Structure formats: structure tokens, C-alpha cells
Amino acid sequence: MHEVIPGAQIAGSIEIDGTDIYQGGMGVTQVRSRIGMVFQKPNPFPAMSIGQNVLAGLKLSGQSVPDKDALIEECLVRAGLWTEVKDRLNEGGMSLSGGQQQRLCIARALAVRPQVLLMDEPCSALDPISTRVIEQTIDELAQDITIVIVTHNMQQAQRVSQLCAFFLVEEMGEPGRIVEAGPTEKLFTSPDDPRTLDYVSGRFG
């Protein structure tokens, strides 16, 4: 996605198990099967049923599974959605509420069994009750998968994460940089950089 933006530049490295994904050691399909993505706005495929949505990533990556029904159930259970949709699997994914759609997108990402799940502001479009359900899902998934969340919600970052990194976009066209990174509790209670303290305490941002 990054590479198709005109003028975009890449610096540094992104490694999975010691392999830099930008150095040609890992193909695009392999990267996308190891790194799942959940976007800010829920985006079920509108022409697909709930069950088909869960399996969509497998089809795109060319993977096959012996028991699709079992995989659908497993992923929906892990995403905290199974009990709500188990009798509606043939209905369209867009028939669900916003919070349910986001959990369906989580289930879709889990179906390819990624090592890492990236979540870009996963609750910004949701009401507080749906947000709480998504955060409970994140907490359960974090037991066996690495989850990276981008959020501007300081309370959410403090609630759901164990490690935090504070990014700051500089002025005058300079690229954004990591100001500070470390255990979440330390960043929120005794950060090393005064800019981090100003941000988490609400003095700016």
C-alpha cells in the first residue's frame, strides 16, 4: 500500500523473525499472510456473506483448508462474534452493526493465521460499548498473537497495551519520529522525554 503513493519514501527496516520485508526476502503474498490488517473503518466485503468474508483472505493468498466451516467458527469465536452470528452465516456482512462488522474484519484477518495483527484506530468509528467489546477481544488475542495498535486515544493505549511508542510529526516538513518507546506504565507515569509527558497529560495533542 505504501509503495503506490507518489513520492513516498522508506527508511529503516521492518523485520519479522529477523527478515527485513523490504529487502526482497519475503514476497508480498507471504507478508500479507503473516501480517493481518484491521482498518479504522469496518470494511466487510459487501457482496460476500459473513462466512465468505471470513474466508476471503485465504482465497486471495491461495491457501486451502480441509474444513472451512470449522475455520469460520474458530475465527468468529476468537473475534468474539460467533454467538451473535452463528445462525446468520449466509447473510451479508453489511447486515451487521458497526461493532460486529469490525469484529468480522478481525475474524477475516485471523483466518490466514498471521503472526502480527496491525490495527489502525480500530475503535474510532465505534460507540463505547462496541469499543469495550473490541478491547476485550484484543486482550484475548494478545495471548498468542502480536498486536500493534495505532491510536490517538491515550486511555485506550494505556488500557490495552504492554509496550508503547510515542510518535511525533515534526514541523517544517520533517518526517515523523519516535520520541520515546518502552513499557506502557513507564510512558504514562514517568516518561524520559518531556514531550511525552506533555502529550499523555493532555497539554497538547
* Residue 176 contacts residue 170 (beta carbons within 8 Å): yes
- The fourth-level CATH superfamily of domain 2-151 is P-loop containing nucleotide triphosphate hydrolases (3.40.50.300)
Q: What stretch(es) of the chain map to CATH 3.40.50.300?
A: 2-151
* Residue 82 contacts residue 46 (beta carbons within 8 Å): no
Three-state DSSP at 183 gives strand
Taking the C-alpha atoms of residue 205 and residue 49, their distance in angstroms, rounded to an integer, is 40
- pLDDT number for residue 171: 63
**What percentage of the chain exceeds 70 in pLDDT?**
97
Q: Which H or E element spans position 123?
A: none
Cell triple for residue 22? Answer: 523490504
Q: Which H or E element spans position 185?
A: helix 184-189
Three-state DSSP at 159 gives helix
Mean pLDDT throughout 107-111?
Answer: 95
Closest alpha carbon to 140 in 128, 130, 129, 132: 132
pLDDT band (50, 70, 90) for residue 75: very high
- pLDDT number for residue 166: 94
Taking the C-alpha atoms of residue 127 and residue 90, their distance in angstroms, rounded to an integer, is 26
Across all residues in the chain, what is the average pLDDT? 90
* Residue 25 contacts residue 16 (beta carbons within 8 Å): no
pLDDT (tens digit, 9 = 90+) per residue, 33-54? 889 999 999 999 999 999 999 9
Alpha carbons within 13 A on the beta-carbon side of 94: 5
How many Å is the maximal CA-CA distance in the chain?
Answer: 55
Question: Which residue type sits at 65?
Answer: V
